Amino acid sequence: MQLTIQQHWLNAAERIESPNFNERPQQRIDMLVVHSISLPPGEFGGPYISALFTNQLDPTQHTYFEQISDLQVSAHLLIRRDGHLIQYVPFDKRAWHAGLSSFCGEENCNDFAIGIELEGVDDQPYEQIQYQRLAEISRLLMCHYEAITPERVVGHSDIAPGRKTDPGEAFDWSYFRGLL
């Protein structure tokens, strides 16, 4: 299927709308932030990421969930281990993915960034299909939102150093940038 963006939604993505977003303070979108997530930590599959991003995570399902079930967070898009895409927030809205962050002296990266989560962890290799999907989507986003350049495709660790480590040492930036 040819990927397209229609009214700020990716046509090939399953849509699960998150309440955890708001309007951007300005219309500028000029950065893409790559994250990683697994719930419970180190486990893949299951409904828990979507439950977290829609404020429906049941704290009784896992002891780790007791710590995070009250968080109100989201990302624009999730790329699962098998390449399945889930979009939670339209790209023109501010998803709550970066937290306390800065890039090139500018604070609050959520204001101008699109956040893409890879289902994974810092120290385990990502799947080939995830790199392919991420590169394909990144190219599409750079065409649709022309201010996003390859230099402004960064990891969560780049905008929140010391606080965040994702997508981690297992993410092959050289390989990914070659796919762009």
The residues annotated as belonging to the active site are: 117
Both tokens of 63, joined, read: 């002891």
Query: What DSSP assignment string belongs to 85-134?
Result: EEE-S-TTSEES-S-S-EETTEE-GGGTEEEEEEE--TTSPPPHHHHHHH
Q: Name 21's bridge partners.
A: 95
Which residues lie across from 119 on neighbouring strands? 37
Q: Which of 146, 152, 88 is nearest to 117 (CA)?
A: 88
What is the full DSSP assignment across 27-38? S---EEEEEEE-
Which of 51, 59, 90, 52 is CA-nearest to residue 73? 52
- Identity of the amino acid at 161: P
- Facing residues of 76 across strands? none
Reported residue count of the chain is: 180
Q: Which two tokens stand for residue 146?
A: 């022309």
